[in-house]
Amino acid sequence: VVSGGDPITLQNYKQLELALEMGLNYLDMAPQYNSGDTERAYGKLLANSAKRDKVFLTTKISRFGEVRNRLYRELFDSLPGGKQEAIAARARELRSQRGVDKPGYFIEYFPNQIRQFEPAYLSNAMAEEYSHRVEGSKAFREFIVQSIEGSLERVGTDHFDIVMCPHGGCTPEELQVPEIRETFERLKQQGKVRFLGVSSHNDPAGILRTAVGLGHYDVVMMAYNVINGGYLEHELREAKAKGVGVIAMKVAHAVATHHKPLQPIPQWRIDKVNRIVPGEMKAPMKAYLWALQNPNISAVISNLWDETFVRENLSLAGKKVELQPA
């Protein structure tokens, strides 16, 4: 059980002192979280250098997909109307063929999440004919380096154990931008990063399959929970076999959310986790416990909002339970 970055701000991080005492050793963050304050807060937490050596630090290249989409969109806007219509139709076709927004596989974890698909698939359709005009752009390299340098400064560390690029990858094609690997290798040689990962809310099976197939990704953080889990079991086994670590996120978001526009959570989801995991625990704790029973999952991300969340969620590490039929 590891610490997610959403709740961590300069005004809300002291509870992690307790978490570290209880054995927490992985801290997740990104420049996008709280406008950089999550990274600054972790920096304050780790001001004692001895603590830095005891934890795994992960940051992400936030908005990387937006850079790709912007480059393709600029090119798209320069094309004649008939060509634009054909490419837009191809984008819709690709999205439909993959079924990425199929209910049960696609779950809305934050408001407007589904809007990420349209620009991403337009980029994919554009890439079929125009990749030579975009892939290889120095804009990707510059963006990654600038992002890492900013994160290092905000946290006050000389390296990250994992850098995830893209942050919130929407389609497998985003992982295939060659500048990701090339820039990572350069940063690794400089001692600023150790391992390469990717995070994803959308199309988690496709993202995981692609990351494993590419061979240079070490870890994947993806949406995995009691609702979409059945779609991911094959890819999880493949990842385990190839030595790619998988961190499950949005595990509890299937049964609870702090996003008011997404409340209330459908009752049938809560009923499902209560059937599968016996006992009197809260539904989010049961959701974490469910994911932790999968030997192909390395860890689960949990939001540690306060000391109650710290004590409850970290108590689940290593706990075994006999899962019941859904």
**pLDDT > 70 fraction of the chain, expressed in percent and rounded:** 100
Q: Comparing 326 with 49, which gets the higher pLDDT?
A: 326
| Structural contact between residues 271 and 280, judged by C-beta atoms closer than 8 angstroms | no
- The arithmetic mean of pLDDT across residues 136-165, rounded, is 98
**Token pair 């109307």: residue:** 81
Q: Would the pLDDT of 19 be above 70?
A: yes
Beta bridge partners of 200: 222
**304/4 Cα distance (integer angstroms):** 7
**Can you give the pTM of this predicted structure?**
0.96
Q: Tens of pLDDT along 277-288? A: 999 999 999 999
Beta bridge partners of 240: none
Domains plus CATH for the chain? 2-66+135-314 (3.20.20.100)
pLDDT, position 49: 67
Strands (E), the chain: 2-3, 26-28, 56-60, 160-164, 193-200, 219-223, 245-249, 299-302
| Structural contact between residues 124 and 73, judged by C-beta atoms closer than 8 angstroms | no
Mean pLDDT of the chain: 97
